[in-house]
Amino acid sequence: MPQPKLKLKIFVILLLPVMILLKELFHSKPSLAEKLYSGSVYPPIGKAISKVSGLFPFSLAEIIVVAVIGAAAFTAFQFISAMLKSKNRLQTIFNTLINLLCILSAAYCLFLLLWGFNYYRQPLAYSMGYSIEKSTVADLEKLCSSLIEKTNQLRVNVEENEKGIMLINDGFKSVRQRSITGYQSLAPIYPFLGGTYGLPKRILLSQQLCYTGISGIYFPYTGEANVNTLVPDSMLPSTTCHEMAHQRGFAREDEANFIAYLTCKAHKDVDFQYSGYLLATIYSMNALYEYDIDRYHELYSKYSDGVKRDLKYHSEFWKQFEGPAEELQEKINDTYLKSNKQTDGIYSYGRMVDLLLAEQKTNNTP
């Protein structure tokens, strides 16, 4: 191995602890992360990368992921072959280890620089002027009741298929073209939701992705909001807006969900509005179930028949894909969230309800 190349690889490897220290600094001082990165450095980076990748009609992220998996398999084969042929196996192991550490360090450092530091920014509630306070079960019941009432009203005006399940004509193609409307409506109020980014992308391997339980993926290296287009139509608009929230620098899952709800609610089209309210209703009712199961069942009975059909279909859709792949992905996702200081792991998704309750108390309406 030429000495200059080795020095470069060691330099890249040594960048990792530096970036980790910066990550810890941002974690301890969210206001600093907001000022030095999320509110200044990230927006132009995110927009630039997203605009470039947006020139391609297909998901670059999907191609990269498949290519990386293929490259990893090929590299493993090469390593085994080299070990069998090598006269100096320790040198082969050293070279391979250096190359692997270099690649992993470069990938993680790029992840943080291109997007990952957004995990440590100030909470969305702070940016929106909301106060997150302890709420009573009565507050939660009021929220659920109000959301159910609005969801029922919106459900009357959405399209249905022959089985009475919500239908969006032209599916993701239609959702993709209209997805920006809610963000444009909220941008004058919340400028951090504005900006021009590439449109969300269809995941071609959506069928395979269903077995992992994943409905969408934001890929920081290409700035693409990727959507599993097989998810039920009732969730397609809110899922799309969720990934677009990540694109705008909001990394936390609970905050991306809340932004999806807000942007769907602000949309001019009823299918988006319904999807947003249905998302909020599901999370709020799930929270109520944990605290007052009797009240949960009482409120559940107030769902309209159309909403019940959509929820049943949503449950049956994902049930058919349950299995080892989904369980493995859940564990990986839980580990990923915890590694980025989302200490509740996958359960941090439930904190969306705190934002819904804060909105209810601030505006006196969901």
Q: How many CB atoms lie within 10 A of CB 159?
A: 12
- Say what the pLDDT of residue 338 is: 55
Q: Residue 348 — pLDDT band, cuts 50, 70, 90?
A: very low
Percent of the chain exceeding pLDDT 90 equals 75
Mean pLDDT of 327-343: 53
In DSSP terms, 172 is beta-bridged to: none
**CA nearest 219: which of 347, 68, 37?**
68
- Say what the pLDDT of residue 329 is: 47
Q: How far apart are CA 145 and CA 168, in angstroms?
A: 26
Residues 6+ apart with CB under 8 A from 243: 200, 216, 217, 218, 225, 226, 227, 256
Mean pLDDT of 293-318: 96
One-letter amino acid of 80: I
Q: Compute CA 278 distance to the chain's CA centroid, rounded to the nearest angstrom.
A: 18
Q: In what order do the strands lie in the sheet with 224-227?
A: 201-202, 224-227, 216-219
Q: How far apart are CA 95 and CA 81, in angstroms?
A: 14
Q: How far apart are CA 19 and CA 225, in angstroms?
A: 25
Q: How far apart are CA 289 and CA 286, in angstroms?
A: 5
Tokens of residue 162, six digits = 């022959």
pLDDT in tens, 213-266: 899 999 999 999 999 999 999 999 999 999 999 999 999 999 999 999 999 999
Max CA pair span of the chain: 75
Residue 364 has pLDDT above 80, yes or no: no
One-letter amino acid of 200: P
- Say what the pLDDT of residue 322 is: 82
- Say what the pLDDT of residue 267 is: 98
pLDDT in tens, 6-50: 889 899 999 999 999 999 999 999 999 999 999 999 999 999 999
- Say what the pLDDT of residue 343 is: 54
Where helices occur in 54-170 by DSSP H, the ranges are 60-85, 89-114, 124-128, 137-155
Tokens of residue 279, six digits = 């998302």
- Say what the pLDDT of residue 365 is: 59
Q: How far apart are CA 165 and CA 344, in angstroms?
A: 34
Q: What's the chain's average pLDDT?
A: 90
Give the domain ranges of the chain: 3-120, 124-363
Q: How many CB atoms lie within 10 A of CB 269?
A: 18
Mean pLDDT of 288-294: 92
Q: Residue 340 — pLDDT band, cuts 50, 70, 90?
A: low
H/E stretch holding 86: none
